[in-house]
Amino acid sequence: MLTVDFSRFPLAPGDRVLDLGCGAGRHAFECYRRGAQVVALDRNGEEIREVAKWFAAMKEAGEAPAGATATAMEGDALALPFPDDSFDVVIISEVMEHIPDDKGVLAEMVRVLKPGGRIAITVPRYGPEKVCWTLSDAYHEVEGGHIRIYKADELLAKMREAGLRPYGTHHAHALHSPYWWLKCAFGVDNDKVLPVRAYHKLLVWDIMKKPLATRVAEQALNPLIGKSFVAYATKPHQPRLPEADAA
């Protein structure tokens, strides 16, 4: 289940990609399949080990084209272990709402992104997320949980402040918003109650089968209740100084 829409966020074979806070690796795997040179980084060592196993399995199964590479590594989003201008593409999906110093993370992403490079940022959308917070304190008051809810304008302003140039936005995963509202209403750890179990089966069926009916329904509902807000931006090329000023 991808949050980034690669039809709006083009990826070329050979692009060097950083999936920051990769989690279980869903975007990293897609970039690898598309021929990129992928670095999947997360602070969770257990998840990184699983991502590394999947990279190896994908390579053995021939799922990635020739020239594609994939590395999984532990790391700190506030102190990335890469030189300036290292990546053509940076993806950070459903991560920034967890990090107190979100401006610091943005600064690090901009530092390692090449001039002219592209970045995709996804966060929980304000409206659906606000419902979850209202229904359940346990949803967000957990160690490592969500510490803020972004309004779209706020996130875009922070991106511009960091030196990025946003060029597109959209919403995603509308069918997942009611699922999380149900979980918050019945208890975030209560997966046995019938409405939650039934809706979870629907989501699994949708992910596995990709039926036209749910695809159309989600596209129609995304502008209204899409669970995620997605923003795309570029890092501008530095303006060239006049020779007289550069001397």
Residue by residue, pLDDT tens for the chain (247 residues) are: 899 999 999 999 999 999 999 999 999 999 999 999 999 999 999 999 999 999 999 999 999 999 999 999 999 999 999 999 999 999 999 999 999 999 999 999 999 999 999 999 999 999 999 999 999 999 998 888 899 999 999 999 999 999 999 999 999 999 999 999 999 999 999 999 999 999 999 999 999 999 999 999 999 999 999 999 999 999 998 755 554 444 3
The pLDDT score that the predictor gives to residue 87 is: 98
The pLDDT score that the predictor gives to residue 240 is: 52
The pLDDT score that the predictor gives to residue 141 is: 86
The DSSP code sequence of 89-110 is EEEEES-GGG-S-HHHHHHHHH
The pLDDT score that the predictor gives to residue 97 is: 96
The pLDDT score that the predictor gives to residue 239 is: 59
Nearest to 21 by CA among 125, 102, 126, 91: 91
Q: Facing residues of 87 across strands?
A: 113
The pLDDT score that the predictor gives to residue 27 is: 98
How many C-beta neighbours within 10 Å does residue 27 have? Answer: 24
Nearest to 18 by CA among 43, 36, 45: 36
CATH code assigned to 76-235: 3.40.50.150
Q: Facing residues of 156 across strands?
A: none
The pLDDT score that the predictor gives to residue 246 is: 41
pTM (global) more than 0.75: yes
For the chain, give every domain's residue range: 76-235
The pLDDT score that the predictor gives to residue 238 is: 74
Nearest to 109 by CA among 36, 229, 17: 17
Distance in Å from the first CA to the final CA of the chain? 52
- For 37, 39, 64, 69, 172, the CA distances from 55, given in Å and listed in that order, are 12, 11, 9, 9, 26
The pLDDT score that the predictor gives to residue 242 is: 53
